[in-house]
Amino acid sequence: MAGIPDDDIRRVREASDLVSIAGERVVLRQRGRDFWGCCPFHNEKSPSFKIDPSTQLWHCFGCGEGGDVFSFVMKLDDIGFVDAVRELARRAGIQITEAPGAAANRGKKARLKEVCNETAAFYHMQLMRGRGSKVDEARSYLSGRDLGGDVPKKWQLGFAPGSGSLFAHLRSKGFKPKEMVDANVAVERGGAVRDRFYERIMFPIRDVDGDVIAFGGRVIGKGEPKYLNSQETPIFHKSEVLFGLDKAKATMASTGVAIICEGYTDVIMMHEAGVTNVVATLGTALTVQHIRVLSRHAKHKIVYLFDGDEAGQRAADRAARFIDESMLPEAGRKQVDLCAVTLPDNLDPADFVVQRGGEAIQELIDNAVPLMRYAIDRKLRGRNLADYGEKGRVLSEVLELLAPIKHSVLAQEYAGYIADRLQLDTSVVVEKLAATRAPRPMGDQEQGALSAAPVARPQRLSLPPREKERLRIERDFLSLCAGRPEIGLAYAGPLAQTVWHRDIHGNIASGLLDLLAEDASMPAAEIARKLDETYPGAASVLSGGSSHDERDPNELAKFFAEELSIRDMEDLIKELSSQLKRPGELSEDDYEMTFQSVVAMQKELAEAKRAHKPLGLE
């Protein structure tokens, strides 16, 4: 996969003990054969995170996530599969081989990161030890904004003197001019390579792993642009990167909340005030890609923190365009809750925490309102709703906000809210909403990202207890067959014949039979990984099986197979009996044949139930 041979992947997996690796991040306690702890991916007080050491699979019964050792490292460190293999190989002392093209591409990007990291170190040294009026002015500015003391060291703030000093330093470290230009710390003009940043306070921009990939520079004194950011490079894409994410991701994971503001100093000051799940965009409007990145770390909600000034309010007006299907109740567990709050008295976050403290801003964040409610209220604020002409204009404006999601449950709820606020009949608002066309909400690049976003699931209905029990039996049977390949082979018939009540369950059964036919001795963890590659979510299903340590696996398999067969017969009898109750749908011959089939199946069902031995599973 991705240039790493399967044999190397297998060796890395076999050398990586999931209990040991997870135990470095999670306090685990053994219960029976399994190990339990609090999930590292969401905030919880009671342990619902389970590791089965025999299958090397993990599952959280709180958030529903699960998989093997690779998926654990991928999710914990927010890295891809190949990087997870590399990290575990490094840990185990295993040398892996990669395709030359993949290695070369990775080598180029790694080299550009080395350029940026060395540049950050140079700028930081200039700020801390440099001499001259400009660097003195830079230190004075930071001190005046409460960014002195340990802050420059914590965030590796720097100063760019310009005049070719960075170019000379990087040359002395062995970097080539083209590498400097490709990393955008230098520019080529008239055949000469020069420093890109001159006489600016420098803010290193890091990726999620903490490597410097770009820079933001603030001018000292007067000058334009006030902030100058790195341009796009092979390692830096501003529509996806967020300042401070490397420091904020742990708190986001533990609280489930991400906070977005607009400035570097805002992020730093809020972190210093104890609010450590804050990030900022990089001189660009918020994009759908940003939201997708944050939703991988913050599972509960994302809060926009808008400045109270005019620019902040313009940003607030643009924010509602990011409400799409993934942010609706119909999206189920993948729903992203978007909320918003405006700071009072025209303050920005940095000034707010200096004047009123971290607890005060945290209280505002805790009371943030849903983004759609926030956007609607902004449209209504200050309008003369007693004037029917104005009321009609306001109604059109707020319905445009709802139009992109007008078929959702959320839109119908807000239609009632708008009707109450405007003192109109709800049916009038609903009727006008149905006729409202959505305006084009965003540019081509953002629209492309939105089109690529996952499609929302249909509204989830409450399942009857019997259906919930059926799905649990299906999951436990699949988990048992995948965890013990010899049982999977023995019950190939039931795996192929069961009428699975979830598509993913049917896909797992079919895929499992194919894998076992190919290699009957394949380890359970590898089965889970291969199935998850073909059917995303399969590893979570297999790792979520109930624990029945005290039961004989063969007895369990027999019970599950018989139980599913009995339930399938009951369902078919019910379906055929329903046809018999609808006169005119069947010909006389078909009616008689169906009737005889039902009679025969009822006898077969009665015999199957008599022979079926309950196990008393909870």
3-state helix, strand, coil in the chain (%, to 5): 55, 10, 35
- Torsion 277-333-466-552 (CA) sign: negative
Q: Which of 412, 450, 210 is nearest to 330 (CA)?
A: 412
- In degrees to the nearest 10, what's the CA dihedral of 81, 83, 88, 91? -170
Reading the block at residue 613, the tokens are 């031995």
- Please say whether the beta carbons of 530 and 13 come within 8 A: no
- Measured from the Cβ of residue 515, the count of other Cβ atoms closer than 10 Å reads 19
DSSP string of 283-304, one letter each residue = SS---HHHHHHHHTT-SSEEEE
- DSSP class of residue 461 equals P
Residues with Cβ within 8 Å of residue 542, at least 6 apart in sequence: 57, 66, 478, 479, 482, 483, 508, 527, 528, 531
Look up the pTM and report it. Answer: 0.57
Q: Can you tell me the distance from the alpha carbon of 13 to that of 374, in angstroms, rounded to the nearest whole number?
A: 48
φ, ψ dihedrals at 279, nearest 5°: -135, 170
Per run of 10 residues, the mean pLDDT along the chain (length 618 residues) is: 76 88 84 85 82 88 87 84 87 76 65 95 95 94 92 96 93 94 92 92 93 94 86 88 92 90 93 95 76 81 81 66 55 68 89 93 91 87 76 88 82 87 84 79 41 33 67 90 89 89 86 87 86 87 77 89 90 77 67 84 89 73
Q: Can you tell me the distance from the alpha carbon of 393 to that of 383, in angstroms, rounded to the nearest whole number?
A: 10
The pLDDT value given to residue 64: 84
Burial 546-562 (b: 16+ CB within 10 A, else e): eebeeeeeeebbbbbbb
The pLDDT value given to residue 441: 45
Q: Can you tell me the distance from the alpha carbon of 519 to that of 517, in angstroms, rounded to the nearest whole number?
A: 6
Q: Which helix (H) or strand (E) holds 219?
A: strand 212-219
**Cα 468–chain centre separation:** 27
End-to-end CA distance of the chain: 40
Q: Can you tell me the distance from the alpha carbon of 318 to that of 325, in angstroms, rounded to the nearest whole number?
A: 17
The side-by-side arrangement of strands in the sheet containing 257-261 is 278-280, 257-261, 301-306, 337-342, 369-370
- Please say whether the beta carbons of 51 and 34 come within 8 A: yes
- Please say whether the beta carbons of 132 and 161 come within 8 A: yes
Reading the block at residue 585, the tokens are 């749908």
To the nearest 10 degrees (0 to 180), the angle between helices 524-534 and 465-483 is 120
Q: Can you tell me the distance from the alpha carbon of 200 to that of 228, in angstroms, rounded to the nearest whole number?
A: 9
Beta bridge partners of 261: 280
Query: Within the chain, how many helices (H) and strands (E) appear?
Result: 28, 16
- DSSP class of residue 391 equals H
The pLDDT value given to residue 461: 29
- Please say whether the beta carbons of 212 and 115 come within 8 A: no
Residue type, 219: V
Reading the block at residue 607, the tokens are 């015999």
Q: Can you tell me the distance from the alpha carbon of 353 to that of 259, in angstroms, rounded to the nearest whole number?
A: 14
Q: Which long-range contacts (CB under 8 A, 24 or more apart) does 137-140 make?
A: 137/220, 137/221, 138/201, 138/220
Helices assigned H by DSSP within 403-552? 409-422, 426-435, 444-452, 465-483, 485-490, 492-497, 503-518, 524-534, 538-543
In the block, which residue shows the tokens 């591409």? 105
Q: Can you tell me the distance from the alpha carbon of 81 to that of 84, in angstroms, rounded to the nearest whole number?
A: 5
| CA angle, 259 then 261 then 267, to 5° | 85
The pLDDT value given to residue 444: 37
Reading the block at residue 243, the tokens are 């300042």
Q: Which of 549, 615, 433 is nearest to 36 (CA)?
A: 549
Q: Can you tell me the distance from the alpha carbon of 217 to that of 228, in angstroms, rounded to the nearest whole number?
A: 5
φ, ψ dihedrals at 501, nearest 5°: -90, 0
Q: Which helix (H) or strand (E) holds 317?
A: helix 310-319
**Cα 478–chain centre separation:** 27
In the block, which residue shows the tokens 């492309």? 448
Q: Which of 499, 501, 494 is nearest to 464 (CA)?
A: 501
- Torsion 300-503-549-611 (CA) sign: positive
Residues with Cβ within 8 Å of residue 136, at least 6 apart in sequence: none
